[in-house]
Structure 1
């Protein structure tokens, strides 16, 4: 009898765990990651539709990436106001405000959070290891859509590309060489754990940069998003929206680095997608 009771108990605990897991997955929100550049009215409408807001829900803009946060807020507010009647708030967190309970509660309960472009390192210096970071994650786990453009796209990754080079220190929009140990990473928001995002991808020909990122993290999926284009991430499924294309690199074989830091590899998986296409995270 005791073995029977033990078996029933294990079954009940397993069912409870699976139900809890399914509920957590159902509640988890979505990511709407834009590759920068001009955002069409259609793309913003897709963002609002993705967020699926009720009349009582509201949006929060986080403009800390920008050197001109008020201007960044006003630009996206203008577009969102045309697409939605929901209220829009601006929370420009500083070191003095990252513990403000009223602001944090507003952020955690937002249905749509939009992170503007600018400098991803500037954003993370304000957010990392603060209650703001935790509030963003809480909103996401409660079903919010977290959106970002340009720098706001880069911060979605746990291992975030900063754009700086460590060996060739002259800044360019792309890299001149496929060098190992040349790309600088910092910690991002970690909404994507094993995915590295690059933005302005085709416009600025950032293949060298993304391949360098893949060489640094060969088990990751590296995704380049062009301007005016977005990926919508829900669970493991990605849907492409916008006017251009999205590229995915993964699964390289036989990575080698020469004495001069040059990278070689075989048979990496290269995929290219456009609006309406769907693919899965690794």
Structure 2
């Protein structure tokens, strides 16, 4: 696939100290300097134009302010905010111009369905897809901003229900990368069951469970590098020898057999087309 752009897909790292937060979606999402620095590097350095899109958040003004401050600390001088709170905002000339001129867009955390509802199918969505295809353009996102990047997107699911059919809710994402389905805050929020169900439902997709302060740098849409301090849990259902998802009644426990699992740390690479793990250019498995 001849894709010139880069995706930086980040597992999130929410701030627990925000007294304004009233629910999971309300928490501010922060990224450690190491990962945010990598976003800047992939975008072309501190002179790059970075556009923050806090559409997913219920407190977009505060989230935008936090990212403006974080990028400023890294020396960035050309950072702006695309304030998109409705589909109509995603059609506005001033927001379209920001995306056309950007070297990088950064989607914040919050509710991933807000991104697809307010930007999906818009002029800005079309521009993002074209520029990712044709330009040296970076699309970065944390938490909800990461989960929305795939064609199929997890929209919700109660981890306390474990591996029961119907627990996970799946919708259409932004479609930047077709082969993955992504979950964030994976370790802290115990999301093993819902990602496993998503892969059981779509066994041709690779399930990506991102720990906080951990991310992927995806090049040419066919391979990624793991970055950050945590781990990536990868579910590969391509070789399942048993999967009763289609026959299991709603609410009942499912079974899959031969679900291949990788645990990847910083510096390791995964070839999506080959479904193999590498360290630098050396084949690991």
The structure having more radius of gyration, on CA atoms, is: 1
CA distance in 1, matches of 2:161, 2:95: 43
**Is it true that 1:103 corresponds to 2:95 in the alignment?**
yes
1:1-282 alignment runs, 5 A limit: 24-25=2-3, 28-37=4-13, 38-53=30-45, 55=47, 57-93=48-84, 94-141=86-133, 142-164=135-157, 172=158, 174-235=159-220, 236-250=222-236, 251=238, 252-257=240-245, 258-259=248-249, 261-282=252-273
Q: Secondary structure at the match of 1:223?
A: strand
- Cα-to-partner distance string for 1:145-182 (whole Å, 9 max, x where unaligned): 10000110110111110114xxxxxxx4x242312233
CA distance in 2, matches of 1:143, 1:152: 20
CA RMSD across the alignment: 1.7
The structural deviation recorded for 1:274 is 0.7
The structural deviation recorded for 1:105 is 2.4
CA distance in 1, matches of 2:160, 2:198: 11
Give yes or no for contact 1:108–1:138 (8 Å, CA) kept in 2. no
Greater share of residues in helix: 1
Structure 2 unmatched ranges of 5 or more: 14-29, 274-285
Structure 1 unmatched ranges of 5 or more: 1-20, 165-171
The structural deviation recorded for 1:54 is 7.5
CA distance in 2, matches of 1:44, 1:84: 12
The structural deviation recorded for 1:109 is 2.7
Give yes or no for contact 1:180–1:215 (8 Å, CA) kept in 2. no
CA distance in 2, matches of 1:175, 1:115: 28
TM-score between the two structures when normalised by the length of structure 1: 0.83
Aligned length: 249
CA distance in 2, matches of 1:274, 1:185: 27
The structural deviation recorded for 1:53 is 4.1
The structural deviation recorded for 1:73 is 0.7
TM-score between the two structures when normalised by the length of structure 2: 0.82
CA distance in 1, matches of 2:70, 2:147: 21
Cα 1:269/1:157, change in 2 over 3 Å:
same
The structural deviation recorded for 1:269 is 1.0
Give yes or no for contact 1:159–1:187 (8 Å, CA) kept in 2. yes
